[in-house]
């Protein structure tokens, strides 16, 4: 298999879960405490990725799953890349696909909640910080972009 975005199967849930966990642990550690990272990951399990069954999730595959995304109308819910593959354009490909999915419902505004470590990535694509929030995982930035 060479560089493609595809819909995941339930068999992919384990790999998505592992990738999500290691990505949060390694890429967020400069911006979040260990307690916040543990809170984010507590209770997560492969069967929790319900976006797979709803056809809202997709994976980036290149000799294995190297990243995944989750998008619904008007909102990007997740973009994750395995830490060893960051800065290779995979996140950009995933984000472009997520934007396509999020704008299919004739919406011209996409919102997302960014971790503190990922906001500069989204800014490169024209997303602007419009607010801040906090949940059990710690602070996040609310970002939006208009498409016309």
Q: Which residue has the higher pLDDT, 25 or 1?
A: 25
Instruction: Please give the pLDDT value at position 106.
Output: 79
Backbone angles phi, psi at 95, to 5 degrees: -65, -40
3-state class of 133 per DSSP?
A: strand
9 and 97 Cβ atoms separated by less than 8 Å: no
Confidence of residue 148 (pLDDT cuts 50, 70, 90): confident
Give residue-wise pLDDT tens across range 43-81.
999 999 999 999 999 999 999 999 999 999 999 999 999
Digit-coded pLDDT (tens) for 78-109: 999 999 999 999 999 999 999 999 998 778 89
∠ CA 37-138-125, rounded to 5° = 95
Q: How far apart are CA 23 and CA 126, in angstroms?
A: 23
Look up the pTM and report it: 0.94
For 72, residues 6+ apart whose C-beta sits below 8 A from its C-beta are: 56, 101, 102
């Amino acid at each position: 298999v060479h560089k493609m975005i595809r819909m995941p199967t339930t068999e992919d849930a384990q790999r998505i879960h592992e990738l999500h966990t290691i990505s949060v642990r390694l890429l967020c550690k400069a911006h979040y405490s260990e307690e916040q990272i543990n809170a984010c990951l507590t209770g997560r399990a492969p069967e929790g990725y319900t976006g797979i069954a709803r056809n809202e999730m997709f994976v980036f595959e290149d000799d294995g799953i190297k990243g995944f995304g989750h998008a619904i109308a008007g909102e990007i819910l997740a973009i994750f890349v395995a830490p060893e593959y960051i800065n290779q354009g995979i996140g950009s490909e995933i984000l472009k696909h997520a934007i396509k999915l999020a704008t299919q419902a004739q919406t011209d505004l996409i919102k997302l909640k960014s971790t503190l470590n990922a906001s500069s990535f989204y800014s490169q694509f024209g997303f602007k910080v419009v607010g801040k929030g906090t949940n059990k995982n710690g602070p996040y930035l609310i970002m939006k972009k208009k498409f016309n």
